[in-house]
Copies of this chain bind each other. A is one copy, B any other.
Amino acid sequence: MTHPRDIKTLDPSPRLLMGPGPVDVYPRVLRAMSTPMLGQFDPEFTGFMSEIMVLYRNVFQTQNHWTFLVDGTARAGIEACLSSLIQPGDKVLVPMFGRFGHLLAEIASRAGGDVVTIEVDWGQVFDPGQIADALRQHKPQVLALVHGDTSTTMAQPFEGLGAVCRETGTLFYSDTTASLTGNPFHVDELGLDAVSTGLQKCMAGPPGTSPVTLSDRAADHIAARKHIEGGIRPDGYVQGNGPRISTNYLDLAMIMDYWSDKRLNHHTEATSMLYAAHESARVVLEEGLEPCIARHRLTSRALRAGLTAMGLSLFGDPDHRMSNVTGVIIPDACGNGEKLRAEMLNDFGIEIGTSFGPLAGKIWRIGTMGYVCRKANVLRCLASLDATLRRNGVTPPANAGIDAAYNVYAEVDQ
């Protein structure tokens, strides 16, 4: 067994992370994490918490007061929202078009929800009318819908669903971890009640904190379930009428008390991750959401033109691809694609991804997200992939991928 004295300073090889995430973090965000600690009730620190609320209202495009961080990776934000919204026995509709739909169904079920799922094949999305029909048929208390499912690279259209949820008395939750700030997503215009995300995709921050936003309707629903834990409960405090939330750590009612003027202690805020979230949002908002989304769109267009010109086939419904990750069908000559992926990583230092479940070994996923999402990386990736394919029995037309990508940029530059 390794002796601890043989464990050296962290010194990872340089990588270009063009998988499904995490991706390279903006250097500004990496540096922000080295900011010294503050106490969790230091007025300067609670000031930073208030700034986070402002920043993420803009990132989410919402007026929601309750916009804050859950201290865990994106999955923690999902579970915090679903466990806090879903009361045992509630009907929950989960349309599934990839792995993360399965995850929402799983979490909803553990929260005690009576889960109804509808499914399309991986690589497709739902027509919003199908989801509307299911809402009207089942009248669920909660609709839980992934926006962009990285497992399939697809983005689900949401048009009209917010209004139907109002009609059926349904709270509308979405997981936007994979898509936010790389694809259009306007929380208030879409009529959402709860949304969670992560930093490690288009926001180019590290995984480890999950921004969430709640409508007043959702916040009121959750507040009715507030049960303040013993040991910090103020004298005479009246607990909520609703059933207690099954998790303490991810109990949004108590977390909101910590993010409110009451500053009632729950957990110790993950200071360095809050710093990262602060700087990630500043980077995105300084660029502007529209230009950031446009950059993702252009970059994936160039990448896809290149891949197609190389004779590769793209995966999934072409009308509903996310702008930040591209599925490529692995050519037969490459088997399950793992040998090529290892060569890309070990020899070129470029990470691309495989997928899960029915798509494992069937597609590669190439991410163009956040800091990585730029022309130089598209060209590097295409040149390296071209070279690697040739060593694996696939012969794309000479320089075709690079030329096609250049052409996309040439159109824009005119």
Is A206's CB within 8 Å of the partner chain B?
yes
Find out whether the CB atom of A21 lies under 8 angstroms from the CB atom of B249: no
- Given the interface contacts A15-B36, A36-B15, A208-B273, does A1 sit within 8 Å of B244 by beta carbon? no
For the residues of A in contact with B, the DSSP-based class is loop
Residues of B within 8 A of A55 (CB): 4, 7
Is A114's CB within 8 Å of the partner chain B?
no
Find out whether the CB atom of A248 lies under 8 angstroms from the CB atom of B207: no
- Given the interface contacts A37-B25, A39-B15, does A76 sit within 8 Å of B267 by beta carbon? yes
Find out whether the CB atom of B268 lies under 8 angstroms from the CB atom of A73: yes
Residues of B within 8 A of A110 (CB): 244-248
The residue from B7, B13, B232 contacting A54, defined by CB atoms under 8 A apart:
B7
Q: How many Å lie between the Cα of A265 and that of B355 in the bound state?
A: 11
Find out whether the CB atom of A267 lies under 8 angstroms from the CB atom of B12: no
Residues of B within 8 A of A247 (CB): 79, 83, 110, 246-247, 250
Find out whether the CB atom of A207 lies under 8 angstroms from the CB atom of B268: yes
Q: How many Å lie between the Cα of A149 and that of B39 in the bound state?
A: 18
The residue from B40, B72, B229, B345 contacting A42, defined by CB atoms under 8 A apart:
B345
- Closest-CB distance, A187 to chain B (whole angstroms): 16
Find out whether the CB atom of A75 lies under 8 angstroms from the CB atom of B278: no
A44-52, A157-165, A380-388 - the one binding chain B: A44-52
The residue from B4, B10, B206, B230 contacting A102, defined by CB atoms under 8 A apart:
B230
Is A19's CB within 8 Å of the partner chain B?
yes
- Given the interface contacts A33-B33, A231-B98, A231-B103, does A275 sit within 8 Å of B10 by beta carbon? yes
The residue from B10, B21, B271, B286 contacting A206, defined by CB atoms under 8 A apart:
B271
Is A22's CB within 8 Å of the partner chain B?
yes
A25-37 CB mask vs B (1 if < 8 Å, else 0) is: 1000011111111
Copies in the complex: 2
A258-278 CB mask vs B (1 if < 8 Å, else 0) is: 000000011111111101101
Residues of B within 8 A of A78 (CB): 249
Find out whether the CB atom of A206 lies under 8 angstroms from the CB atom of B54: no
Residues of B within 8 A of A10 (CB): 32, 35, 48, 275, 278-279
Residues of B within 8 A of A232 (CB): 99, 102, 356-357
Find out whether the CB atom of A30 lies under 8 angstroms from the CB atom of B34: yes
Find out whether the CB atom of A272 lies under 8 angstroms from the CB atom of B268: no
The residue from B3, B42, B73, B273 contacting A351, defined by CB atoms under 8 A apart:
B42
- A: residues with CB less than 8 A from B are 1-5, 7, 9-10, 12-15, 17, 19, 21-25, 30-40, 42, 44-45, 48, 50-51, 54-55, 58, 71-76, 78-79, 83, 98-103, 105-107, 110, 151, 198, 200, 206-209, 229-232, 244-250, 265-273, 275-276, 278-279, 281-282, 285-286, 345, 351, 353, 356-357
- The 10 A-B residue pairs with the shortest CB-CB distance, nearest first, are A102-B231, A208-B270, A99-B231, A102-B230, A33-B33, A206-B272, A106-B229, A75-B267, A72-B72, A207-B268
